[in-house]
């Protein structure tokens, strides 16, 4: 479209209608508009991040100075020490379970938002978005109250009132507590791309499947579900990356049994004062976040290529 | 008909599951608000009786006021700064032919990909290297890092919805690009950008992982203050302060719905 503008203005030039000629070349103005934000990010995000990641291969002396020689010892400890490796495994497991359960819970909500009657859809949308603008600290506090291991925890109180005996659920300060609270924290980020994806599906496809005799469940499995995969993958990527990188929720409900990378990183800085180790943990966290994004993009690209091959063969 | 797509027993089943999902979404918020009215001296379930005395106490609490104010001022300053530097960048990327526009856009959105906890830690270390000790400045820089990508994304989305033929018509009729922006583009993108600013404000207002590294005892944003108090205070005043944060969130959602509708604000 900008090409059209160029075309029209060059036509104007040749026909002799006067147009304003800018004093500064237009491309320079464009660059000027980008300079403030790009330089801000360069100075306060790119450079600091590279310095931090660089720390992960440096050595910290007894006095706390960080300098050469280069070493991989922090990474070696992270991979080969069972205690640290356990944290990596817990982090990946919690992130995986959170994205799995979030997607299961998100489908019905996204379908009501995409296909429900206007009022129902609107109310559902409002209630799904609301937690997104409430601080994670507040929401996790809510889960602390809900999941408390004694009878004063809401869940145990309810179960006790139903007659199951004293405090049957001991979920607080375990990996499961982190999964439950993290599903809550990141659920909107799964529902939103999913609802967008569902909304883009041609409604006649589902209707055709039903008219040809498919049950509602089968039509969902064979038509709606496959066509919503782009939204699902977007949601899974976001939820997986953010859970793996989270700090507040595992810190507040995870305890020592649910130690995740974010909490370990904070301990390295504030308790052990071990910057190279913290930097190595940070690098692994960035690698997990990037790995999830790149991995899903690769998968999507491969699927698209396979589809092109199939349609080309026809 | 679209509405027919969730009819019959399948539709009922879907609505039932969605309902269960909404109960899950609301329960931690409802529990917090319920306990804020409890007469008991510790915040445990079930709440006892009904009192607003915790609210009176919290409203009069200097530290809480200070934290709330710090968060609000910080969020406002971060949003305004992101707007001032983000709007021209998004405009240039979408309305001028730029070599490497996609790469530049990726850089502008990169704070989304980097875990925020690490962005904050990297900035803390960098500011220590530069001997920048002023917590408020450091917090502001950190919060601009997390709000800027939201602004860039919202402005980009709003610009893509603008009717380009109107801009072209104004240009061919001899209006300068500056005039075209103010008279044709700006009125069309204002509601979308206002919604984006409101969301960015809340992102900053609710932030924990950036403030966690960069705040100090004098400059403590609300989420940090809340988390600090949770380990020291066990009475329902924590639930009361949390209820104020929830109320702010409710106001923000109403604002987003009124400005452009939540669907557009969340780009569905």
DSSP B265: H
Interface-testing mutation among A12, A128, A138, with chain B (most B C-beta atoms within 10 A): A138
Smallest Cβ–Cβ distance between A37 and the set B86, B125, B168 belongs to B86
Interface of B with A in 142-161 (CB under 8 A): 144-145, 148, 152
Site of tokens 């040749």 = A14
List the single range of A13-22, A53-62, A182-191, B102-111 with lowest mean pLDDT.
Answer: A13-22
Percent of the residues in chain A that have a pLDDT greater than 70, as a whole number: 88
User: Which residues have a Cβ under 8 Å from the Cβ of A45 and sit 6 or more positions away?
Assistant: B110, B111, B114, B119, B122, B123, B145
Interface of A with B in 271-310 (CB under 8 A): 275, 278, 282, 285-286, 289-290, 293
Nearest chain B alpha carbon to A264: B117
> Would you say residue A314 has pLDDT above 60?
no
Cα–Cα distance, B94 to B105 (Å, whole number)? 10
Q: Where does the pLDDT of residue A313 fall: very low under 50, low under 70, confident under 90, or very high at 90 and above?
A: low
For A204, the token pair is 């006649």
Rounded mean pLDDT, B5-15: 79
Percent of the residues in chain B that have a pLDDT greater than 90, as a whole number: 37
Q: Strand runs (DSSP E) across A52-113, as ranges?
A: 59-60, 66-67
Rounded mean pLDDT, B168-175: 89
Quote the pLDDT of residue B268.
54
Cα–Cα distance, B192 to B175 (Å, whole number)? 24
Mean pLDDT of chain B: 87
Quote the pLDDT of residue A7.
40
For the segment B58-89, what is each residue's pLDDT rounded down to a tens digit?
A: 888 888 899 999 999 999 999 999 999 999 88
Cα–Cα distance, B12 to A314 (Å, whole number)? 40
pTM: 0.87
> Would you say residue A54 has pLDDT above 90?
no
Cα–Cα distance, A291 to A84 (Å, whole number)? 20
Radius of gyration of chain B measured on its C-alpha atoms: 23
Residue A211 sits at the chain B interface (C-beta within 8 Å): no
Nearest-CA distance B159 → chain A (Å): 13
CB contact under 8 A, B18 and A124: yes
Quote the pLDDT of residue B5.
66
The ipTM, to two decimals, is 0.89
Nearest-CA distance B223 → chain A (Å): 6
Smallest Cβ–Cβ distance between A20 and the set B26, B122, B176 belongs to B176
Smallest Cβ–Cβ distance between A145 and the set B5, B32, B114 belongs to B32
My answer on whether omega of the bond before A106 falls inside 30° of 0, hence cis, is no
Strand partners, A60: A66
> Would you say residue B1 has pLDDT above 50?
no
Q: Which of A265, A234, A235 is nearest to A248 (CA)?
A: A265
Smallest Cβ–Cβ distance between A48 and the set B96, B123, B230 belongs to B123
Q: Where does the pLDDT of residue A218 fall: very low under 50, low under 70, confident under 90, or very high at 90 and above?
A: confident
For B87, the token pair is 């709007």
Question: What are the angstrom distances between the C-alpha of A147 and each of A150, A161, A261, B46, B61?
Answer: 9, 15, 23, 13, 29
Nearest-CA distance A126 → chain B (Å): 7
Angle at A295 between CA A104 and CA A98, to 5 degrees: 30
Q: Strand runs (DSSP E) across chain A, as ranges?
A: 59-60, 66-67
Mean pLDDT of chain A: 83
Considering only residues B134 and A300, tell me which one the structure prediction assigns the higher pLDDT: B134
For the segment A90-119, what is each residue's pLDDT rounded down to a tens digit?
A: 999 999 999 999 999 999 999 999 888 889
For A183, the token pair is 């599903």
CB-neighbour burial class of residue A296 (10 A; exposed 0-12, middle 13-18, buried 19+): middle
Cα–Cα distance, B86 to A186 (Å, whole number)? 26
């Amino acid at each position: 479209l900008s090409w059209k503008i160029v075309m029209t203005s060059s036509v104007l030039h040749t026909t002799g209608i006067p147009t304003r000629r800018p004093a500064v070349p237009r491309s320079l103005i464009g660059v000027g508009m980008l300079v403030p934000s790009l330089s801000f990010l360069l100075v306060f995000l790119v450079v600091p991040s590279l310095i931090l990641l660089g720390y992960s291969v440096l050595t910290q002396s007894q006095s706390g100075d960080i300098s050469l020689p280069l070493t991989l010892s922090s990474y070696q400890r992270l991979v080969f020490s069972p205690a640290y490796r356990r944290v990596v495994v817990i982090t990946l497991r919690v992130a995986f379970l959170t994205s799995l359960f979030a997607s299961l819970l998100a489908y019905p909500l996204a379908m009501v938002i995409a296909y429900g009657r206007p009022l129902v859809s609107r109310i559902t949308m409002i209630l799904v978005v609301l937690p997104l603008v409430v601080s994670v600290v507040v929401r996790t506090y809510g889960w602390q109250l809900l999941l408390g291991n004694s009878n004063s925890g809401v869940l145990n109180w309810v179960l006790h009132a139903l007659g199951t005996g004293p405090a049957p659920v001991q979920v607080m300060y375990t990996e499961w507590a982190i999964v439950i609270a993290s599903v809550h924290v990141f659920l909107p980020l799964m529902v939103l791309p999913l609802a967008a994806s569902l909304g883009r599906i041609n409604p006649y496809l589902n209707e055709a499947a039903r008219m040809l005799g498919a049950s509602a469940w089968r039509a969902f499995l064979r038509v709606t579900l496959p066509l919503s995969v782009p939204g699902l993958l977007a949601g899974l990527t976001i939820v997986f990356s953010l859970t793996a990188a989270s700090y507040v929720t595992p810190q507040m409900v995870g305890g020592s049994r649910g130690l995740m990378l974010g909490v370990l990183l904070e301990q390295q800085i504030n308790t052990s004062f071990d910057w190279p180790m913290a930097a190595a943990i940070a690098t692994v966290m960035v690698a997990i976040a990037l790995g999830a994004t790149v991995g899903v993009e690769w998968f999507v690209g491969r699927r698209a290529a396979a589809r092109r091959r199939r349609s080309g063969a026809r | 008909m679209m509405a027919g797509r969730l009819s019959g027993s399948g539709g009922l089943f879907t609505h039932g599951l969605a309902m269960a999902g909404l109960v899950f979404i609301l329960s931690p918020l409802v529990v917090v608000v319920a306990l804020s009215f409890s007469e008991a001296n510790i915040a445990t379930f079930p709440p006892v009786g009904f009192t607003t005395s915790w609210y009176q106490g919290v409203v009069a609490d200097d530290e809480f006021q200070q934290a709330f104010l710090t968060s609000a001022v910080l969020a406002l300053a971060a949003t305004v700064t992101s707007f001032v530097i983000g709007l021209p960048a998004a405009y240039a990327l979408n309305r001028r032919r730029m070599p490497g526009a996609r790469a530049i856009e990726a850089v502008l959105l990169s704070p989304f990909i980097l875990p925020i906890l690490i962005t904050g830690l990297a900035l803390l270390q960098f500011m220590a290297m530069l001997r920048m000790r002023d917590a408020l400045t450091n917090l502001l820089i950190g919060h601009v890092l997390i709000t800027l990508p939201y602004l860039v994304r919202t402005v980009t989305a709003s610009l893509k919805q603008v009717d380009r033929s109107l801009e072209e018509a104004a240009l061919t009729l001899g209006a300068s690009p500056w005039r075209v922006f103010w008279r044709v583009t700006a009125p069309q993108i204002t509601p979308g950008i206002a919604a984006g600013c409101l969301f960015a404000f809340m992102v900053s207002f609710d932030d924990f992982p950036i403030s966690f590294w960069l705040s100090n005892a004098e400059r403590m944003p609300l989420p940090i203050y809340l988390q600090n108090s949770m380990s020291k205070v066990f009475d329902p005043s924590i639930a009361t302060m949390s209820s104020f944060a929830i109320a702010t969130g409710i106001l923000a959602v109403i604002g987003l719905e009124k400005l452009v509708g939540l669907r557009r604000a969340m780009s569905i």
